[in-house]
């Protein structure tokens, strides 16, 4: 049968493209496309070669694994080839695979080893007389790279085996990977040092193993799980793969604790679904599940095809990363006023759904990743996590790509955008007026420690906004009982009660009113301090930043927030309407000059679970008495309040000699305002 010229040309182009991406992935650790796109290219080439076997060449990517080793490392010839696995992308693929295996073996009662498919770098470890003597990468499956010096730095890999009974010489094969927590810490350090960050843990692991200086590898948080063997004396092999891995585990070689033996293909698929549901909870990245026949004799019968065994398959998860193009960058305003750049994307299927938008987090992140309108980018969606743009691909950038510029005014209300030095998040300063912040503004305004409007809960606030009965907090005081009675699940009595609560709230205090305005970083204590310093609203609203910084405990950041808030005309308009609706307060009583709040100057950290109050309530109690409540323990901390299961903060406090209070001691201190017991 004659092969169409179009098929011949397409196969040649696919081989060329795949080899190029192999180079970027395996040697440079800097892929230009997502795994899903690479899989699509490989599947297309496999289909072409299956339809036209004449196109299958000895050097086709379908006939080998990976890419040649980089020249910086010595070559290692594998005594037993390190092959890859065929992929399944659906339950049907897996069922078909299981049927083929059963037919070849002539039986259905087959035991399968199932385990996570780690997203790292495959390596082979050679042990002689119980000592690690060689380590190599997979390379092209026949020849790998000698990375012995680097692998010796990985603490999870034993340099000397424990236990007894190992062969004089054998190979253990598995995956070197970087746990999620270590990956995040590594990138955080790189950011702090102004260095390039890694796109994902797989790239970080591969790049770390290929460092020419093992001292650099030693600083990287790498780990290892064994999943198989290479060279091994036939007369020492147990009957099953699972038994061999149990031996490896007893000798100190790590084996994934998620590995199980199941009895049929249906159980394999059930394991897959369970692991997919728990994927985000695992401490490492995985991109699927591997199924392997457990009995080694049955594996021998099944044998191999050109690049993969017939007795194993990888069941891939829906791709978490995909490649697409940025067609625009919008700015969304969150409920707390935070401005978030959002990339508008050409639709792409990733993580099981079609994605058209992805978060860019903040303007600093956009510039750090150099993401521009028109760029080709890699998008990631893990589980239910909001899709994000991982990186741009400058190599594919069009000449007319445009840089992102953060607007100076809020897209929702045109209030001034506030960006403080040292902070990544820009925020809208129109908190009382901005439509994007209405719900949070109303909830905060009505809360118990603010205006204390009883009965104004989340669901009612939602209804009031949806029915357009209110637009700002000032509109609350124009509500009528008959309007409220028409709302869902709000009868005549509840309507009257809410109107009465609104009426009661008209008489408040200046500290409560200042707190209710929702000015950023102005909590109860700061609101009280401002009220006592300025005594009335007008001089506070007119104060400049320099004057505000003369107030105790008001630094440059808080002063900037207050000054900016009172410079927004729409905020002043809402305040004017609130005062016009009858909100008032009594003059503050004069306080003797020498009066000091009982916990003034004291810094508290609260950790663990308290019985009688929540952490937020405990923090509020500290603030109300003039103290500070912070999130981390340092030398400046005066007290650590420790509830049940306090964690590492307790250890650090003890190391620093900080006074630790239990719940009863804290309650006694906060109620008496005296010294700690």
Per-residue pLDDT band for 53 (boundaries 50, 70, 90) equals: confident
State residue 386's pLDDT score. 79
Pick left, alpha or beta for residue 544 (phi over 0 → left; psi -120 to 50 → alpha; otherwise beta): beta
Which of 48, 206, 91, 76 has the alpha carbon at shortest distance from 140? 76
Q: Identify whether the C-beta of residue 360 lies closer than 8 Å to the C-beta of residue 366.
A: yes
User: pLDDT value at position 634?
Assistant: 87
What mean pLDDT comes out for the span 427-437?
A: 89
pLDDT recorded at residue 593: 53
The answer to whether 67 and 61 have CB atoms below 8 angstroms apart is no
Question: Are 465 and 458 in contact, with CB atoms under 8 Å apart?
Answer: no
By CB neighbour count within 10 A (0-12 exposed, 13-18 middle, 19+ buried), where does 652 fall?
middle
- The predicted pLDDT at position 668 comes to 84
Q: Which pLDDT band holds residue 404 (cuts at 50, 70, 90)?
A: very high
The rounded distance, in Å, linking the Cα atoms of 139 and 209 is 13
CATH superfamily of 75-316: DNA ligase/mRNA capping enzyme (3.30.470.30)
Mean pLDDT across 486-496? 84
Task: Share the mean pLDDT of the chain.
Answer: 88
Query: What would the two tokens of residue 218 be?
Result: 């030693």
Q: What's the rounded Cα separation, in Å, for the pair 37 and 188?
A: 29
Give CA separation, 401 vs 124, 357, 596, in Å: 44, 18, 59
Q: Residue 609 — very low, low, confident or very high, per pLDDT cuts 50/70/90?
A: confident
DSSP 294: S
CATH class of segment(s) 5-63: mainly alpha
- Between the CA of residue 518 and those of 99, 441, 454, 522, what are the distances in Å? 64, 7, 18, 7
Hey, which of 61-65, 187-191, 514-518, 551-555 has the most confident mean pLDDT?
514-518
pLDDT at 176: 97
Question: Which fold would CATH assign to domain 322-396?
Answer: OB fold (Dihydrolipoamide Acetyltransferase, E2P) (2.40.50)
Lowest-confidence region among 40-44, 241-245, 286-290, 508-512: 40-44
Count of Cβ atoms closer than 10 Å to residue 494 Cβ: 16
Q: Domain segments of the chain: what residues?
A: 5-63, 75-316, 322-396, 429-585, 603-672
**Which residue is it, tokens 């049929």?**
264
Architecture of domain 603-672: 3-Layer(aba) Sandwich (3.40)
CB 427, CB 417: distance < 8 Å: yes
User: Mind telling me the catalytic residues?
Assistant: 117
pLDDT in tens, 62-112: 765 555 555 678 899 999 999 889 999 899 999 999 999 999 999 989 999
Residue range 340-396, pLDDT digits in tens? 999 999 999 887 778 999 989 888 889 989 999 999 999 988 666 678 898 899 999
Angle at 61 between CA 55 and CA 62, to 5 degrees: 70
> Which H/E stretch holds residue 38?
helix 35-51
Using left for φ > 0, alpha for ψ between -120 and 50, and beta otherwise, residue 422 falls in: left
**Model confidence pLDDT, tens digit, residues 5-49:** 899 999 999 988 887 887 677 556 577 888 778 888 888 998 898
Task: Give me the helices (H) in 599-675, please.
Answer: 615-624, 648-656, 663-672
Mean of pLDDT values over 607-628: 78
Q: Which of 148-162, 232-246, 302-316 has the largest mean confidence?
A: 232-246
Low-confidence winner among 163-167, 376-380, 424-428, 654-658 (lowest mean pLDDT): 424-428
Identify the CA nearest to 59 among candidates 101, 15, 103, 119. 15
> What confidence tier does 195 reach under pLDDT thresholds 50, 70, 90?
confident
Q: How far apart are CA 418 and CA 509, in angstroms?
A: 28
Residue 331 CA to residue 340 CA, distance in Å, equals: 5
Average pLDDT over residues 107-133: 94
Which DSSP string do the residues of 443-490 spell out, in sequence order? HHHHSTTTT--TT--HHHHHHHHHTTS-SSGGGGGG--HHHHHTSTT-
Alpha-carbon separation of residue 461 from 360, 367, 442, 466 (angstroms): 30, 38, 7, 9
- Percentage of the residues of the chain whose pLDDT score is greater than 90: 53
Question: Residue 19 has what pLDDT?
Answer: 78
- Percent of the chain past pLDDT 70, that is, above it, reads 94
Is CATH 1.10.150.20 the classification given to domain 429-585?
yes
Please write the tens of the pLDDT for every residue from 225-268.
999 999 999 999 999 999 999 999 999 999 999 999 999 999 99
Q: Token pair of 109, please?
A: 């009662």
Entry pTM: 0.56
Instruction: Please report where in the chains the tokens 């253990």 appear, as a residue.
Output: 172
pLDDT tens per residue, range 546-577: 999 888 778 888 899 999 999 999 999 999 99
Phi-psi region of 127 (alpha: psi -120 to 50; beta: other; left: phi over 0): beta
- pLDDT band per the 50, 70, 90 thresholds, residue 619: confident
How many C-alpha atoms does 100 have within 13 Å on its Cβ side?
13
């Amino acid at each position: 049968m004659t092969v169409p010229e179009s098929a011949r040309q397409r196969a040649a182009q696919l081989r060329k493209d795949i080899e190029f991406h192999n180079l970027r992935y395996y040697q440079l650790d800097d892929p230009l496309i997502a795994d899903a796109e690479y899989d699509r290219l490989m599947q297309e080439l496999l289909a072409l070669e299956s339809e036209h076997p004449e196109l299958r060449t000895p050097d086709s990517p379908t006939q080998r694994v990976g890419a040649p080793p980089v020249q910086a490392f010595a070559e290692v010839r594998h005594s037993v080839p390190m092959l890859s696995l065929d992929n399944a992308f659906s339950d049907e693929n897996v069922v078909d695979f299981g049927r083929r295996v059963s037919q070849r073996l002539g039986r259905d009662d087959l035991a399968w080893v199932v385990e996570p498919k780690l997203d790292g770098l495959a390596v082979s470890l050679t042990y002689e007389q119980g000592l690690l003597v060689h380590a190599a990468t997979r390379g092209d499956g026949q020849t790998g790279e000698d990375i012995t010096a680097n692998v010796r730095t990985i603490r999870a890999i034993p340099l000397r085996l424990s236990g007894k009974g190992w062969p004089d010489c054998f190979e253990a094969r598995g995956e070197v990977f970087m746990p999620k927590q270590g990956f995040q810490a590594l990138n955080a350090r790189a950011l702090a040092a102004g260095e390039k960050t890694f796109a994902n843990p797989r790239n970080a692991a591969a790049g770390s193993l290929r460092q020419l200086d093992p001292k650099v590898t030693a600083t990287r948080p790498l780990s290892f799980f064994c999943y198989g063997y290479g060279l091994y004396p036939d007369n020492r092999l147990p009957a099953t793969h699972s038994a061999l891995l149990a031996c490896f585990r007893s000798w100190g070689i790590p084996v994934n604790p998620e590995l199980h033996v199941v009895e049929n293909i249906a159980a394999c698929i059930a394991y897959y679904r369970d692991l997919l549901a728990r994927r985000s909870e695992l401490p490492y990245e995985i991109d699927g599940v591997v199924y392997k026949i457990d009995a080694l004799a049955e594996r021998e019968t099944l044998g191999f095809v050109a690049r993969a065994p017939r007795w194993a398959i990888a069941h891939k998860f829906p791709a978490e990363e995909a490649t697409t193009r940025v067609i625009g960058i919008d700015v969304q305003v969150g409920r707390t006023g935070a401005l978030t750049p959002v990339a508008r994307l050409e639709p792409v299927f990733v993580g099981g759904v079609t994605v058209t938008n992805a978060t860019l987090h903040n303007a600093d992140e956009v510039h750090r990743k150099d993401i521009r309108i028109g760029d080709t980018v890699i998008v990631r969606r893990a589980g239910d996590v909001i899709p994000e743009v991982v990186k741009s691909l400058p190599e594919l950038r069009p000449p007319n790509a445009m840089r992102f510029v953060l607007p100076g005014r809020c897209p929702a209300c045109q209030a001034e955008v506030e960006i403080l030095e040292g902070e990544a998040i820009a925020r809208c300063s129109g908190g009382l007026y901005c439509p994007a912040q209405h719900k949070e503004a109303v909830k905060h305004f009505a809360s118990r420690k603010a205006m204390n409007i009883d009965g104004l809960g989340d669901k009612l606030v939602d209804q009031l906004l949806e029915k357009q009965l209110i637009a700002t907090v000032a509109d609350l005081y124009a509500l009528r009982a008959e309007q409220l009675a028409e709302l869902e699940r709000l009868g005549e009595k509840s309507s009257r009660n809410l109107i009465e609560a609104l009426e009661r709230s008209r008489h408040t205090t200046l500290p409560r009113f200042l707190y209710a305005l929702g000015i950023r970083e102005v909590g109860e204590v700061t609101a009280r301090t401002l009220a006592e310093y300025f005594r009335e609203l007008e001089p506070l609203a007119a104060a400049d930043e320099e004057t505000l910084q003369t107030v105790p405990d008001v630094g440059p950041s808080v002063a900037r927030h207050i000054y900016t808030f009172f410079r927004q005309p729409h905020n002043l308009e809402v305040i004017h309407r609130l005062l016009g609706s009858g909100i008032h307060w009594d003059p503050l009583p004069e306080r003797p000059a020498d009066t000091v709040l009982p916990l003034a100057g004291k810094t508290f950290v609260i950790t663990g679970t308290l019985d009688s109050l929540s952490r937020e309530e405990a923090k509020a109690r500290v603030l109300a008495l003039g103290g500070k409540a912070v999130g981390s323990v340092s030398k400046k901390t005066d007290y650590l309040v420790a509830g049940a299961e306090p964690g590492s903060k307790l250890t650090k406090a003890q190391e620093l000699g900080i006074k630790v209070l239990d719940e009863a001691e804290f309650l006694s201190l906060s109620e008496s305002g005296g010294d700690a017991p």
